[in-house]
Structure 1
Amino acid sequence: MCPEQACIRADQDELAFVAIEIADSDGVVEMLADERVSLEVAGPATLLGFGTAAPASEEPFTGIEHSTFRGRALAILRPTGEPGVVRVTARSQSAGVASVEITAQSAPHNAAAEYDRSAVPTQ
């Protein structure tokens, strides 16, 4: 498992992406390993979506279980707005259990709204 970022803003407008791969002991993705993976999210985030690029899947993207496609899947998390550590745990029959942690940090007040107004063209 590999998060796109190890640290995100504790903001409900933020998203975190976690790649799930069924890999061998050398880290090579098992392209023929399409197996069921279940996820558990603990901490200040919710599972927004979980799925694959499978062109003909009938599995919902909103559940906590999904089959991999060519050994891969993707989980999308949304922070609750509270700072803290988010732990994502994946379980599959052949690969066992793997976990990653993502830190949700509070952003400075009005950090997104602060910018140099002199650089904005006026009409």
Structure 2
Amino acid sequence: MSGVSPVEMLVERPTLPGTEQVAVWWGYFDELASWTWDVEPGRPMTVHVYTPGDSVRLLLNGAEVPGGAATPERATATFTVPYASGELTAVAGRDGEEIGRTTLGTVGAPAALRLVPDVTDLTTSRDDLAHVLVEVTDSHGRLVPDATLKVMFQVDGAGELAAVGNGNPHNVDSFRQPRRHTWHGQALAILRPAKRPGRVTLTASAPGLRPAALTLTVGQQRARSDRGQP
């Protein structure tokens, strides 16, 4: 089916000794698309693989992980994997044929910020916005999936910082302040253009990390071709 992923993989966040996660009714696991965890080697990790297929294989650094529920039940296969840094790959199949695979890799320490906008330019319309994803990356440009760092924002030129966010349901800080902590290694900055053409620059910085800057052109708002229409 178009638009449906053949396989996704998430790892449960480790719990305290003697406890476990339980997802009942409409609940869900505290899980993350990450194979970067601050745990001792060999620590059992619970891995969920989601797929419409009828079989799943799990590979850790190229070696197949034995045991575990390799046959999906309600589209989910669950494995217990002794933690080791490297690459964890899930391979989904149907009727003996591979339908997809996905890999999670261990990343390095936070080293830099990266800005990813959803648009390449703006107009002078006050309803025109740029949503800029802020990502914490390691020295190889890979997302650090559980980095929690305070990011500061500065906007110069033809625009302003309309809002910030991070998706964390427990974060109740003001979304109008020029700062935000990342959640799962990411945050969001929303730019609003000025009423005049020009260029707007967003700079993001965090202690100990290489900052990132992004410049967008703000062009004159084009007249509507359907003027007079409701």
TM-score range normalised by the length of the shorter chain: 0.7 to 0.9
C-alpha deviation, 1:27, in angstroms: 2.0
Q: Which runs of 5+ in 1 are unaligned?
A: none
Question: Secondary structure of 1:26's match?
Answer: coil
* Alignment CA distance shift 1:50-1:116 (3 Å): closer
What is the TM-score when the length of structure 2 is the normalising length?
Answer: 0.47
- Count of matched residue pairs: 115
Q: 2:128 aligns with which of 14, 18, 25?
A: 14
- Could you tell me which residue of structure 1 aligns to residue 208 of structure 2? 94
- Could you tell me which residue of structure 2 aligns to residue 5 of structure 1? 119
C-alpha deviation, 1:93, in angstroms: 1.3
2:180 aligned with 1:69, yes or no?
Answer: no
* CA radius of gyration, larger in: 2
Question: Secondary structure of 1:96's match?
Answer: coil
- Could you tell me which residue of structure 2 aligns to residue 115 of structure 1? 226
Q: Percent identity?
A: 29
What is the TM-score when the length of structure 1 is the normalising length?
Answer: 0.86
Tell me the alpha carbon deviations over residues 59-99 of structure 1, each in whole angstroms, 9 at most, x when there is no partner.
11110011000110001111111111100000001323110
Q: Which amino acid counterpart does residue 217 of structure 2 have in structure 1?
A: T
2:156 aligned with 1:42, yes or no?
Answer: yes
Q: 1:82 aligns with which of 173, 196, 206?
A: 196
Structure 1 outlier segments of 4+, above 3 Å: none
Tell me the alpha carbon deviations over residues 7-26 of structure 1, each in whole angstroms, 9 at most, x when there is no partner.
11121121111110001122
Q: Which runs of 5+ in 2 are unaligned?
A: 1-114
2:219 aligned with 1:105, yes or no?
Answer: yes
Higher relative contact order (CA 8 A, sep 6+): 1
Distance, in Å, in 1 between the alignment partners of 2:119 and 2:209 is: 23
* Alignment CA distance shift 1:16-1:96 (3 Å): same
Distance, in Å, in 1 between the alignment partners of 2:127 and 2:227 is: 23
- Could you tell me which residue of structure 2 aligns to residue 54 of structure 1? 168
Distance, in Å, in 1 between the alignment partners of 2:188 and 2:126 is: 19
* RMSD of equivalent CA atoms: 1.8
Distance, in Å, in 2 between the alignment partners of 1:80 and 1:61 is: 19
Q: Which amino acid counterpart does residue 98 of structure 1 have in structure 2?
A: A
Tell me the alpha carbon deviations over residues 25-55 of structure 1, each in whole angstroms, 9 at most, x when there is no partner.
2221111211000000001111110111001
Question: Secondary structure of 2:204's match?
Answer: strand
Question: Secondary structure of 2:191's match?
Answer: strand
